[in-house]
Amino acid sequence: MIHYHPDTDRLMAFAAGTQPLSQAICVSAHLEHCAQCRQLLRRLNHVGSEMISSLPPARVPEQLKAKVMQKIRSGEAAVEQPISTTGSAPGHSPIVPRCLRKLVPGDIDKLRWKRLSPSIRSARLCSDVDGTQVELIRIKPGGKVARHNHTGEEVTLVLKGAFSDESGIYRAGDIIFRDQRDRLHRPIASQDSECICLTAVASPIQLTGWLGRIFNPLIRRSHYAH
Amino acid sequence: MQDPAATHVQLLSGLIEQVGAQRDERAFEQLFEHYAPLLRSYSLAREPGAHLVADELVQEVLVKVWNKAHLYDSAKANANTWIFTLARNCRIDYLRRNGRFAADIDADDLYAGLEDENSDPFEITQQRKAALQVQEGLRQLPNEQAQVLAKVYLEGKTQQEAALELNLPLGTVKSRVRLALQKLEILFRGRQP
Ligand SMILES: [Zn+2]
């Protein structure tokens, strides 16, 4: 049972396509788990489609239709095969969201995992143009993530296992948004199994001054570490 | 008597299916006539004056219509909504190619399988009704609410950007969106924000 969903504003941004990619990836992964949000997404799509339909039609240049007809006749347009949306392709870890299969083509164990602390490892998947990092995080049973503040927005989606913090317990499919208003946040993985999460972290912890300039790269790398 | 708007959408859905089943160029041309001006308008809403970009979007979306028509199922999706998702995805990919998004993930990866209406007949009927309610409701929406929806869906703005442009506090934009979605019966009053 999923208890933590993206709010309607975020789902609307997803429907309209106005979200940063890093956040859209996490929302997409949540939707894959959540029939309730998929239904709301379809309704939000109706708004977009009716808004387009009610636009004043723009004049279309004469040659545009001829160009398109030529494209489809020349075979430049290739009829597409359906994208498989059920099950997982052979070799895929079933916990990897569909939207990330290009970035995680095989087993997640084959990713380049970086050890952040005795109980936490992370693997970078991609970064958005605004610098937001999208990563997979694995926390050993009972593992603690360093207490940290947020300087930007942090999105976390649980893929496997569970973790908890001061505000609740989060299980597979749950999505959590945290920002600078949420102070001192200290997640702990549940005792009974490893916890795997997908995260998008907007901006790393910032230090200022000469010390900060020296240590920033280190701290940047170990955002989740002890 | 059926609602004429509903009949028109059904006609468009039928055309997409004809293209899918028979590669019918006549049907495709009719789709072009109907959708090209709207798609061009959609692109110009985001980038006024960018006519080449708009022409590019029209071409891309219509070529996709040709390539994907056989995957379309009118029992499950309204023609307008299907076209909207294609147009939105083309816009996202265009922005990604132009540097707004960095990774090697395209819009189809993000949305694949999430928007298909399921095959439960009850759900299909519900969604049909919902689409018509939206169409009807949009006409009656107060201007200030329609305006924020247009900023997001047509101009591709975030709520923060909409607030800046309209010179309104973010909270006001959010509450207008909420009121609009309640009027369109998309948001049930029971749903948590
Ligand atoms: Zn949900």
How far A144 CA sits from the closest chain B CA (Å)? 30
Nearest to A57 among B38, B67, B105 (CB): B38
Is the pLDDT at B6 greater than 90? The verdict is no
Residue A145: pLDDT band (50, 70, 90) is: confident
How far A72 CA sits from the closest chain B CA (Å)? 7
Q: What is the CATH number of the domain that holds B156?
A: 1.10.10.10
Report yes or no: A184 at the B interface, CB cutoff 8 Å.
no
Same domain? For B15 and B90 the reply is: yes
Tell how far the Cα of A36 is from the centroid of ligand 1, in angstroms.
6
Same domain? For B118 and B134 the reply is: yes
Indicate yes or no: CB of A77 within 8 angstroms of CB of B67: yes
CA-nearest of A20, A54, A211 to A128 is A20
Same domain? For B112 and B180 the reply is: yes
In chain A, how many domains are there? 1
User: What tens digit of pLDDT does each residue of A83-125 get?
Assistant: 655 555 556 678 899 999 888 888 899 899 998 888 999 999 9
Is the pLDDT at A139 greater than 50? The verdict is yes
Indicate yes or no: CB of A9 within 8 angstroms of CB of B157: no
Nearest to A102 among B29, B104, B117 (CB): B104
Please, which residues 35-94 of chain A have a Cβ atom closer than 8 Å to chain B?
A: 38-61, 64-65, 67-69, 71-73, 76-80, 82-83, 85-86
Quote the DSSP letter at residue B103.
Answer: S
User: What pLDDT score was predicted for residue B87?
Assistant: 97
Chains A–B, number of C-beta pairs less than 8 Å apart: 216
Same domain? For B122 and B43 the reply is: no
User: What pLDDT score was predicted for residue B74?
Assistant: 84
- Cβ atoms of residues A204 and A219 within 8 Å: yes
Question: The whole model's pTM is what?
Answer: 0.89
User: What pLDDT score was predicted for residue B95?
Assistant: 87
- Cβ atoms of residues A95 and A158 within 8 Å: no
User: What pLDDT score was predicted for residue B81?
Assistant: 92
Q: What is the domain range of residue A110?
A: 106-218
Substitution target in B105, B106, B172, B178 with the highest count of A β-carbons within 10 Å is B105
- Cβ atoms of residues B115 and A37 within 8 Å: no
Please give the average per-residue pLDDT across B132-160, as a whole number.
94
Location of structure tokens 């009610």: A54
Q: What is the CATH number of the domain that holds A158?
A: 2.60.120.10
Q: pLDDT: is B101 or A220 the higher one?
A: B101
Q: What is the domain range of residue B119?
A: 107-191
User: What pLDDT score was predicted for residue B11?
Assistant: 93
